Amino acid sequence: GFAALFKVFIIALFVFKADWGPLFGVLAILTMTVGNVVALRQENVKRMLAYSSIGQAGYMLISFPVFSASISSGNFTQLSYLSISYGIFQILTHSIATVGAFAVVAAMSTSVLGLEYEDFKGLFKKSRTLAISMTLFLFSLLGIPLLAGFDSKLLIFSAAVGGSLVSGYGWLIWLAIFGIINSAVSLIYYVRLVRNMFMDTEPHFNSTVPRSAMAGIVIAAAATILIGVYPGPFISICNQAAHALLAGA
């Protein structure tokens, strides 16, 4: 969906010279804020992850108003390529962490119905792999250093700050500010789940996870760490994708 949005938005904006920046700026703030505030009120972990993903989509949308600012002079600039590249990188890191988190939920759903926060209590005692992997996914979505989500959030927020230096686009700084505030809000419901997993209590989950499912979870967790520690090659790929995308505009 975002790939299509990038393509349509870039071509329409550049060819017709339409300034869609403010519209996408408001949309980004509303999306990240509504997603995180509603996620904060959830007791069901699947619903929490779903609304959290809406909040993450708000961070991705920051690319569009920054791109709008970058071509205000009528030509592509370095910021044009970086805004798209960082948006793609945000999509990549979010996808890995979210797929991993939902994989953990799916694995637990075989024996626990509903999957409320309470159902995650004591998970570390039953399965250290599941508990540690889920913690890595949640902390990546939160933006903790040395995990993939930290690099992507740092870059996308930096792009907003860079875009705010363009004449007439000083308001872009608010996208970075709202992004940081919403990340702080997400800290509450992510840490709540992590706390439950490491409680010293008898776990609700008592089944054995199939090896294939566990392998997928471990691979996603490893990718989260790898990209966080060594993001360079992945950012380079996103840069190449951005250049290829803009070549057709």
Digit-coded pLDDT (tens) for 111-166: 776 789 999 999 999 999 999 999 999 999 999 999 999 999 999 999 999 999 99
Query: For position 15, what pLDDT does the model report?
Result: 67
Q: Given pLDDT bands bounded at 50, 70 and 90, which one contains residue 16?
A: low
Closest-CA residue to 103 (of 242, 182, 210, 17): 210
Mean pLDDT of 12-33: 83
- CA 238 remoteness from chain centre: 15
Is the full-model pTM beyond 0.75? yes
Q: What angle (nearest 5°) sits at the alpha carbon of residue 183, between those of residues 217 and 158?
A: 100
31-50 pLDDT, tens digit per residue, is 999 999 999 999 999 999 99
Q: What is the DSSP letter of 207?
A: P
Give bridge partners of residue 44 from the DSSP assignment. Answer: 116
**What is the three-class DSSP state of 44?**
strand
Q: State yes or no: pLDDT of 56 exceeds 90.
A: yes
Mean pLDDT of 162-174: 94
Long-range CB contacts for residues 45-54, cutoff 8 Å, separation at least 24: 45/105, 45/115, 45/116, 45/117, 45/119, 45/120, 45/193, 46/102, 46/105, 46/115, 48/189, 48/193, 49/98, 49/101, 49/102, 49/105, 52/98, 52/141, 52/186, 52/189, 52/190, 53/94, 53/98
Determine contact, residues 224/148, Cβ cutoff 8 Å: yes
